[in-house]
Structure 1
Amino acid sequence: MTTVAIGDLAQNLQMRRYNSDLKTRLSTLAQELTSGQSADPAKLVSGDFAPLSAIEHSLNTLSSYQMAGSEAALMTAAMQASLTNVSDVASSLESSLLIAASSPETNLLTSTGVDAHEKLDQAIGALNASVAGRSLFSGMATDRAPLISGDEMMAALQTSLAGQTTAQGVSDVMEAWFNARGGGFETVGYVGSEEPIGDVRLGDGATLSLSITAEDQSIRDVIRGLAMGALLADGGLFAGDTTERAKLAKASAEQLLTASGPMAALQGTLGTAQERIETIQVENTSKSAILELAKSEIVGVDPYEVATELESVQAQIETLYTITARLSRLSLTDYLS
């Protein structure tokens, strides 16, 4: 019988090729074991990618919905925090104003006015908040804050109130400044967009409208009450007439109390939107899980079989290394003996 000897170079090349093939297979098996999916899906679907493509498309769409939902959840949570801040600020001032109104004393009225001005600044600061560089209450004008500063607003109001000598007169002017069409609030105080943010698509047939802006009537009413109280910081208001100043303090407290109901309703509306976002997010997560399961049934692998083959390939590589090491140490004497 004729034997064919393999030369050292040919043998070396053969061993290297075998080693390369084993390493490639090991890498493929490791990838499949980690991902749980076949590295060659075309083989599993026999070239028909239509069902798999449809699943992938649906998963990508749901991923987009989830991202939009996460952003909406972040925005609404920040908006709710801002409205809560405004409500708390207004509520904390009511009792101080009523005390000042019931005990008309110049220093008390002035200090209450200073406190009201600080709380006006806090409320405006909360409404001018932004998330990820986007203003929360500016409507479509997310690149800028919706309200001018407290100092700027009080300066504009002082101009409009020039010549008023009674608390009732001040209340009437402020009501017009904040509520009249084309009044001071719309032309000077609010610098956001009149157009609310467009609807956010959260799922198939599910959209959410975040239409709350700092122009909302309930927000205007709170800001008006705080601004009325802030006027008391001017000791010369009404030429120092404590009776009229006390009346203004009472009017400010009543305004804040009246505004608390609509503000709570606004927070409730926003809370409903938050619940809807959460519900839709849960639904989208469930749909994604079902689709991932369907995808796994198409291109998935048996982790036990893959792990078993992986161990087998590792053993083959170790055996190959052992043989290679022994061959490299083989001497002429060993070969002839």
Structure 2
Amino acid sequence: MTSTPSASALRAIERRANHKLAILHHVEEVSGSVAATCRYYGVSRQAYYRWLQRYEAEGFEGLKDRSSTPHHSPTATEAEVVEKILWLRQQYHFGPVKITMYLKRYHDISISASGVWRILKKVNLNRLPASQRYKRKETRWKRYEKQRPGHALQVDVKFIEPLGQTGRKKRYYQYTAIDDCTRLRVLRAYPTHDQKTAIRFIDHVLSKLPFNVEKVQTDNGSEFGQSFHWHLIDKGIGHIRIRPATPRLNGKVERSHRIDSEEFYRLLEGQVIDDVNLFQDRLQQWEDHYNYDRPHGALAGITPYERLKQKTQDPLS
């Protein structure tokens, strides 16, 4: 992987070459002694004679810095792999660990996270945008996880504005349910935002999940009011509301909404989606990708569906 030096780098190369030339001239015009000049400039005589040899053979160009990259690097990462790494970084803002997971899962390419980081470092892509960076470890909230599918389901709503609308813009709401144990998700977009819609959504979720739900956890939004609460109770499902102003207690669904913004909605830019049915189809495709294809960092690189199969075969895993 090669890159064109910047203007400042070229100026620095020129400046160092002129410094070497000045040392060569100092011997001829001032000191007349290689040893004295080398002591004066603080360089070794081996370096002086190497520069002199290059200058006599190539002129001023021979004094310019040469690449330290070896002519043959049998362990260097292939250009095709580097291209995939840079694409994942620029397209999805994935970190080294997630890139490693994707390369192994979809391309059967094994590369360490540190190796990915070094490649990103070379092209100044090792730092994510400020909005993508993690907090320091000591300030993160401790993760927890239910051990049984369906033991707890986190539900929340995300306001969305489909792109490409003309005239009076419609408002849509993405209802999201995520299983605490497996991270399986169910998504649905609605043009309304009330308890009737929340009840329709939870019925859709219960019909779609391949396991029984024991408890639903929501925030204190009006859409999760008394009618929604008693609808769950009638179905034999518990309903818990988190404390006000503590969205971290619904952290898995909140984090999944951030993933939606980064990996789904951001990539829809420029596409005209002003039809709720078309948008619903795209959202369903994203739901399927999230559940069946996307490796999940919190699940050690497996997908939510693979996690479900793992739990079904060994509940204690």
Q: TM-score, normalised to structure 1's length?
A: 0.21
Structure whose residues are more often strand by fraction:
2
Relative to its length, the structure with more helix (as a share) is: 1
Higher relative contact order (Cα pairs below 8 Å, separated by 6+ residues): 1
What is the TM-score when the length of structure 2 is the normalising length? 0.22
Tell which structure's C-alpha radius of gyration is larger: 1
